[in-house]
Amino acid sequence: MNDSGKILGIASDHGGYEMKQFLAEKLKEAGYKVNDYGTHSESSVDYPDFIHPLASDINSGKLKRGIILCGSGNGAQITANKYANVRAALGWSEEQAKLAREHNDSNIISLPGRFVSFELAWKIVNRFLNTNFEGGRHSRRVEKISQLINN
């Protein structure tokens, strides 16, 4: 990944807060610059309030990659995918994260803070950040995702 890919956004609600803190630290140790969009405590909040700003920055091209979390990963993913240039994939396994990059050119991974271990979450994030898009027939399919929105 080039240098712009070394700047990451991370955001969660309370359901993903502890895991977000863990991942942000690990990513900084690994040499990434991490922009933390919150939340900043375990207090109950509404996930769209934190996911929208990150997804908007991915959509505009200000950020290349993002990591989002909520309890299940679902609400965060649904919110992020409201943006035309966002392809947010659920991250429940390393293989799923790998396929999200290889086949879907996914630019956001959405983790279920309440359903995977910290250790697995770190592996999922690494796989997501270090796998390239395969292109080829998958480019055609990814392009069609946006075509459908515009029709």
Return the active site residues: 70, 103
Using the rule CB under 6 A, is 55 a contact of ligand RB5? no
Q: Cα separation of 104 and 113, whole Å?
A: 23
Q: Cα separation of 108 and 101, whole Å?
A: 10
Using the rule CB under 6 A, is 71 a contact of ligand RB5? yes
**Span near ligand RB5 by CB under 6 A; candidates 2-10, 31-39, 71-79, 140-148:** 71-79
SS3 89: strand
Determine which residue in the list 39, 72, 107, 110 makes contact with ligand RB5, applying CB under 6 A.
72
Determine which residue in the list 17, 32, 37, 47 makes contact with ligand RB5, applying CB under 6 A.
47
| C-alpha distance from residue 35 to each of 9, 54, 133 (Å) | 5, 9, 24
Nearer to ligand RB5, 72 or 107 (CB): 72
Residue in 94, 128, 143, 140 with CA at minimum distance from that of residue 1: 128
Binding site for ligand RB5 (CB under 6 A): 13, 15, 47, 70-72, 74-75
